[in-house]
Amino acid sequence: MSRTICINWDICYQALTENNYDGCNLPESNTYEICYRVNREQVLKSAYREKNGIEPVYTNFSNTPPSPNFCATLDYIFFNGHLTVEKVLELPDHPSGESYPDETHPSDHLMIAATFQLS
Mean pLDDT of each 10-residue bin along the chain, 119 residues long? 55 69 59 55 88 97 87 92 95 92 94 96
Parallel/antiparallel/unpaired status of strands 45-46 and 3-7 = unpaired
Can you tell me whether residue 116 is helix, strand or coil? strand
Which run of H or E residues covers position 49?
Answer: helix 47-52
Query: What is the pLDDT at residue 8?
Result: 47
For residues 109 and 119, give the distance between their C-alpha atoms in angstroms, rounded to a whole number: 31
User: Looking at this protein, which amino acid is placed at residue 24?
Assistant: C
Give the per-residue pLDDT at 71: 94
Cα distance between residue 22 and residue 15, in whole Å: 7
Which amino acid, one-letter code, is at 56? Answer: P
pTM above 0.95, yes or no: no
pLDDT given for residue 68 in this prediction: 83
Please classify residue 11 by burial: count the beta carbons closer than 10 Å to its beta carbon, then call 0-12 exposed, 13-18 middle and 19+ buried: exposed
pLDDT at residue 44, as a whole number: 87
How buried is 41 (Cβ within 10 angstroms: 0-12 exposed, 13-18 middle, 19+ buried)? exposed
Residue boundaries of the structural domains of the chain = 3-118
